[in-house]
Structure 1
Amino acid sequence: MTMGTNSTEHRLEAGIDRLAELEHERWAHWQRYMHSKGKRTPDGSLVLPANLVARWDAQIATAYRDLTSDEKESDREQVRRYLPTVAAILDGKTDDHSAPSEFTKD
């Protein structure tokens, strides 16, 4: 099957770098948050509070369907930040950076 220039697959492929940019911003936002919760040691290591590590370990081990309502809403909030970019890509606006990044906001 040959992809036409207007196909959804082609548009999504053309938008990969914009989505990767958003993913990096999301990751960097999370890392800033995590680092803000830790204590930097003299050797540069970061020590996180045990209660947060336990909470995050539990969330990692939990399937989405089993998360609390608040945890699910937090995940939905993250996805909503991608939607304007996905919509722009599907509309053929792969270079459209008009939708502000929500990942840099706290």
Structure 2
Amino acid sequence: MSDPQEGAGEMAVPDQMVEKLADIEHERWSHWQRYLHSKCIRQNDGSLTIPAHLVERWELQMRTRYEDLSEGEKESDREQVLKYLPVIVEVVKRSV
């Protein structure tokens, strides 16, 4: 397991915060995987094929800087951030 403090700079990151954020991240990833799998075509061998139109759309989004995203795409990113924010705010309040 990697050191959760690595890359944190001067700030000590409480293990509890790392665990809460990791839990949120896992839920985000799981949600994305469920969505992705629902859009794919399951092959006879169990593998999944992503339809070309979705590959094109998602590759365009990957190449696009946040500031250049549509308002809807930005809102989707903001919704994800709001899941993490309460944990971060809680730790910051405790350290003040």
Amino acid in structure 1 at the alignment position of 2:32: W
Q: Give the RMSD, CA atoms, in angstroms.
A: 1.7
What TM-score do the two structures reach when normalised by structure 1?
0.71
Larger helix share, 1 or 2: 2
Amino acid in structure 1 at the alignment position of 2:50: L
The CA deviation at 1:21 is 1.4
Give 5+ residue unaligned stretches, structure 2: 1-10
Amino acid in structure 2 at the alignment position of 1:19: L
The match for 1:29 among 22, 31, 54 is 31
The CA deviation at 1:89 is 2.8
Count residues with an aligned counterpart: 84
Q: Where do 4+ consecutive residues of structure 1 move more than 4 Å? A: none
Amino acid in structure 1 at the alignment position of 2:44: P
Q: Say if 2:63 is the partner of 1:61.
A: yes
Give 5+ residue unaligned stretches, structure 1: 1-8, 93-106
**What is the percentage of aligned positions where both structures have the same residue?**
52
The match for 1:40 among 28, 42, 46 is 42
Amino acid in structure 1 at the alignment position of 2:78: R
| Structure 1 CA distance for aligned equivalents of residues 87 and 73 of structure 2 | 23
What TM-score do the two structures reach when normalised by structure 2?
0.77
- Listed as ranges, the matches of 1:69-80 within 5 Å are 69-80=71-82
